[in-house]
């Protein structure tokens, strides 16, 4: 028996290994779905609920009940109930057992939906209050009980953007939001936790188990509701998939995004000699952009030069075709440190650092200037009286 459920992708659940298995394995490979084997039809409920848990606003609470019981409790934390839009209590039970749901104040609530079948019961309530919800059965029985919480919590992924520079730490920033009744999203400041699963371009996976909102680990401002973590393994070029799991108490929310890591244009120093003998002419500086793209936008390119004694000079570089040029007249012998950098550099709409460093040695050659005395001619004028 094969059943399927549509949840962004195909998910198939096999009751037993059959000849259909290879076909389904091929199908999910093409569609990006999942294959979940189950031992019996009773396990289908758990398989379906596992799918619900992947939906961004669903949280599954599962009560593991050992042996036979006549009642059990499922608790909804009072501090979380304001974020729960509705709750569905789902029971898998023997055919001869009937069930009743009571609210924390021990009354039968008004049901948004109620369905009682021989092998299962479903009770759905709106805006459930916090506390212990109790399920009572007509006699002792082995029961599987679940609560599906439809929350108003959402995960918003602020960063990264669509593209990212290869080799640079990937800054992942997420928020916990509440969707209000009028559809607006309100950022929640306070206790939330996040983790992430990163799928690299080669298919390997890495987990980030903790995000920070304390001004560390790449977080910019403590306590602003922006939770941050740096992912430093970005040497591969290609698509990175980021899956976020957010928790506020027992309520879980998920979100995902992708970013393309690629080689950004770089500043390259012209292949100039590492040593200069300087006489009377300044040193010519030249830098150009490698992997130039129409999507590159830079404001100004400058050179910062530090002399052997520590004195710094900043030079404005002038654009000339595909390069930038400038000149510098050193005043002392020794090793100079040179850094070219671009201000307001963006690529694919993303601001990033564009710079290159180098060193060069200077030996100043003193020149002798000789001045010759000026040669003068005296012209005499003579007159004679007649």
Which pTM was predicted? 0.69
CA distance 242 to 250: 22
- pLDDT tens readout for residues 235-256: 999 999 999 999 998 888 899 9
- pLDDT tens readout for residues 283-296: 999 988 887 666 67
CA distance 75 to 132: 4
Q: Are 244 and 254 in contact (CB under 8 A)?
A: yes
pLDDT band at 11 (very low <50, low <70, confident <90, very high): very low
Task: Tell me the β-bridge partners of 173.
Answer: 159, 228
Average pLDDT over residues 35-43: 61
pLDDT tops 60 at residue 77: yes
How far lies 259's CA from each of 138, 166, 220, 222, 225, in Å?
54, 11, 21, 26, 23
Give the torsion sign (CA, 15, 17, 20, 23): positive
- pLDDT tens readout for residues 109-166: 999 989 888 888 999 999 999 999 999 999 998 888 888 888 899 999 999 999 999 9
Three-state secondary structure call for residue 80: coil
pLDDT band at 20 (very low <50, low <70, confident <90, very high): low
- pLDDT tens readout for residues 81-93: 889 999 999 888 8
């Amino acid at each position: 028996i094969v059943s399927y459920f549509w949840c962004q992708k195909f998910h198939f659940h096999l009751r037993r290994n059959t000849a259909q298995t290879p076909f389904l394995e091929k199908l999910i490979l093409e569609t990006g779905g999942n294959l979940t084997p189950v031992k019996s039809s009773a396990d289908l409920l758990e398989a379906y609920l596992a799918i619900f848990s992947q939906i961004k606003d669903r949280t599954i609470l599962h009560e593991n009940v050992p042996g036979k019981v006549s009642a059990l409790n499922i608790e909804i934390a009072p501090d979380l109930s304001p974020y729960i839009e509705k709750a569905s209590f789902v029971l898998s039970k023997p055919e001869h057992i009937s069930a009743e749901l009571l609210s924390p104040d021990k009354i039968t609530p008004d049901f948004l939906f109620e369905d009682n079948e021989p092998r299962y019961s479903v009770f759905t309530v709106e805006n459930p209050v916090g506390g212990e919800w109790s399920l009572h059965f007509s006699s002792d029985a082995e029961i599987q009980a679940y609560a599906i919480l439809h929350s108003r919590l959402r995960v918003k992924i602020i960063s990264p953007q669509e593209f990212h520079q290869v080799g640079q730490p990937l800054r992942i920033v997420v928020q916990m939001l509440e969707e209000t009744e009028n559809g607006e999203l309100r950022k929640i400041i306070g206790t939330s936790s996040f983790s992430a699963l990163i799928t690299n371009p080669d298919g390997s996976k890495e987990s980030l188990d903790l995000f920070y909102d304390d001004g560390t680990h790449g977080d910019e401002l403590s306590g602003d509701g922006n939770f941050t973590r740096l992912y430093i393994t970005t040497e591969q070029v290609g698509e990175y998939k980021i899956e976020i799991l957010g928790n506020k108490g027992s309520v879980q929310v998920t979100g995902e995004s992708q970013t393309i890591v690629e080689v950004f244009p770089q500043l390259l120093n012209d292949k100039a000699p590492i040593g200069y003998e300087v006489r009377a002419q300044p040193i010519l500086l030249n830098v150009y952009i490698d992997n130039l793209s129409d999507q590159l936008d830079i404001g100004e390119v400058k050179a910062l030069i530090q002399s052997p004694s520590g004195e710094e000079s900043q030079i404005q570089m002038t654009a000339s075709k595909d390069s930038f040029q400038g000149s510098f007249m050193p005043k002392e012998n020794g090793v100079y440190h040179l850094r070219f950098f671009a201000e307001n550099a963006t690529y694919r709409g993303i601001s990033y650092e564009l710079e290159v460093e180098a060193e060069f040695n200077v030996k100043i050659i003193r020149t002798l200037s000789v001045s010759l005395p000026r040669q003068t001619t005296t012209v005499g004028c003579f007159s004679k009286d007649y």
